Structure 1
Amino acid sequence: MNRAGEGVATEDRLLGGRVRLRQPADGYRAAIDPVLLAAAVTATPGERVLDLGCGVGAAALCLLARRPDLRVTGLELQPELAELARINAAANDHADRFEVVTGSALAPPAAIAPGGFAQVITNPPFALAGAGTVPPDRSKALAHVEAGFDLAGWIRAAARALAPKGRLWVIHRADRLDALLAAFAGRGLGEVRVLPLWPKAGRPAGRVIVSARKGSRAPFALLPGLVLHRDDGGYSPAAEAVLRDAAALGGD
């Protein structure tokens, strides 16, 4: 990790070079999930956004590249990743818009006030504890596998941070959609919208982006989704627009 200049990190580019991202050469590395999550967010200028489990800041910085009129706070458990997120905020000229707080969502620091955010975005660990092989790298394991803090707890923390009528945005595995919707129950989260992400046309969705509004009773909606790849493996034109050209991913 790159902590105060130590460790091995690479500098990568997202959104066609709009976002510079230093991240560990080994361990957890951001791919397209945080880019897609950021593209889905709709917000009013000036709103406060919480990136819950922000890692090195990929989702937050992709959001700010498209919406510099927002203010983002990132909460990250791992100090090494939090430090890289601060470095990335400065490198992308967003240090005044992207504050990174080190701490746990289980016991959020004072900076993560209950009801303090109009939007919460999050890319929680995808894998159930005990299901499959745990990555040997500790940082990668924390990012990928639920450990002492399951999906229901993650959503509970997100809902706690949301202001009334605020909206939660989650990207997760499609085969865990039932668990995600169950986690919404009893949290005052309604107006649920599900946007499928298909790896190729005619294939089952691999990911979903799910949003919900706190205190709303509007009905559930299944939105038009996005096909990510052509048959030859390249990105579809619609996916290229989102991943390379910073286009918004419609749905709100």
Structure 2
Amino acid sequence: MNEEWLKDDETLDDLQLKGICVIQKKDAFRFGVDAVLLANFAKVKKGARVIDLCSGTGIIPFILAGKTDAANIIGIEIQEPMVDMAKRSVEFNKLQHRLEFINKDLKDIEFLKKLPKVDVVTVNPPYKLKNSGIINMNDENAIARHEICCTLEDVIKAAKGVLKDNGRIYMIHRPDRLADIICTMRQYKIEPKLIRMIQPNFKKAPNMVLVEGQNNGGTFLKWEAPLCIYNIEGGYTEEIDKIYGR
């Protein structure tokens, strides 16, 4: 049955969530724990409208479709092959009534203005600065990981353009970029409201950070207790198992 949906270099992966599966490349960029943590971190109310920026093959919209009662979720992604996979995943899962994927550049402000304002923006953006290491500018993996097609400011500016007043943005990034995230959010009048550090285990420094911001929100910032991925024995922590539904 899968052959009619898949190309030779693709797999159909079960999310273990209400039977939802996603199409991914076998040997290219594949979703990781960061996307799962972000989708779990986002607070999406019943009937909410959501836009996922830098959507890739759509993992965050598909998890949100399975875990929340969002009315409509739009994924925006610049790489056409990833959008093609996401659209086929929508058809496979029969989620056309809730999910839509658009092949567009989030820097296209005129396009963003045409979209309806949303309650929530999620984004798992490229983490690495464009000048950090040798980069193949046409490589799908490099585009997903490095600020080649968009910068942190581009992402926050796009979120500002599509969020309702008091709408929320949820982002996962690297802790070394936290100062940039906070400063850029405030530049666009998105107030940081909640920060949670992600640690490999309780003995290691954080290697990811989750940030919630509110469009035109008041100044009040909270920190949640850090989330550890692995316990001292090397297995997943109880919270991670719960997030994955195990």
**Structure 2 length normalisation: TM-score?**
0.90
Code of the residue aligned with 1:67 in structure 2: it is T
Tell me which residue corresponds to 2:95. Answer: 94
1:141 aligns with 2:142: yes
Deviation at 1:96, TM superposition (A): 1.1
1:199 is the counterpart of 2:196: no
Task: Give, as a single letter, the amino acid of the residue that structure 1 aligns with 2:179.
Answer: D
CA distance in 1, matches of 2:105, 2:6: 24
Tell me the percent identity: 23
Q: Which residue number corresponds to residue 231 of structure 1?
A: 232
Q: Secondary structure at the match of 2:84?
A: helix
The one-letter amino acid of 1:188's match is K
Report if the CA contact (8 A) 2:53-2:121 is conserved. Answer: yes
Q: Deviations over 1:44-98 (max 9, x none)?
A: 2111100001111101101111014431001111111001111112222322100
2:118 is aligned with 1:124? no
* Equivalent-residue separation in structure 1 for 2:109 and 2:28 (angstroms): 24
Say if 2:67 is the partner of 1:63: no
| SS of equivalent residue, structure 2 residue 194 | strand
Equivalent positions of 1:8-23 (< 5 A) are: 8-15=9-16, 18-23=19-24
Deviation of 1:192 after TM superposition, in Å, equals 2.1
Equivalent residue letter for 1:244: G
- Quote the offset at 1:233 in angstroms: 2.2
Structure 1: how far apart are the matches of 2:113 and 2:79? 16
**Mapped partners of 2:190, 2:80: distance in 1:** 31
Find the residue that maps to 1:88 and give its secondary structure.
helix
Structure of greater relative contact order (alpha carbons < 8 Å, 6+ residues apart): 1
The answer on whether the counterparts of 1:52 and 1:122 sit within 8 Å (CA) in structure 2 is yes
Deviation at 1:113, TM superposition (A): 3.5
Q: In the alignment, is the contact (CA less than 8 A) between 1:115 and 1:160 conserved in 2?
A: no
Compared CA separation, residues 83 and 148, structure 1 to 2 (3 A): closer
> How far apart are the structure 2 equivalents of 1:204 and 1:234?
18
Secondary structure at the residue paired with 2:12? strand
C-alpha contact 2:166 2:215 (8 A) present in aligned 1: yes
| Map of 1:250 onto structure 2 | none
Question: Residues of 1 paired with 2:179 and 2:62: CA distance?
Answer: 29
Counting matched residue pairs gives 243
What amino acid sits opposite 1:10 in the alignment?
A: T
Alignment of 1:99-248 (within 5 A): 99-108=100-109, 110=111, 113=114, 116-134=117-135, 138-245=139-246
Contact 1:48 1:118 in 2 (8 A): yes
> Counterparts of 1:86 and 1:114 in 2: how far apart (Å)?
19
Q: TM-score of the superposition, structure 1-length normalised? A: 0.88
Distance 2:219 2:120 in 1: 18
Within 2, Cα distance between the matches of 1:203 and 1:135? Answer: 31
* Aligned Cα root-mean-square deviation (Å): 2.2
Equivalents in 2 of 1:29, 1:211: separation in Å? 24
Moved more, 121-130 or 69-78: 69-78
CA contact (8 A) 2:51 2:73 kept: yes
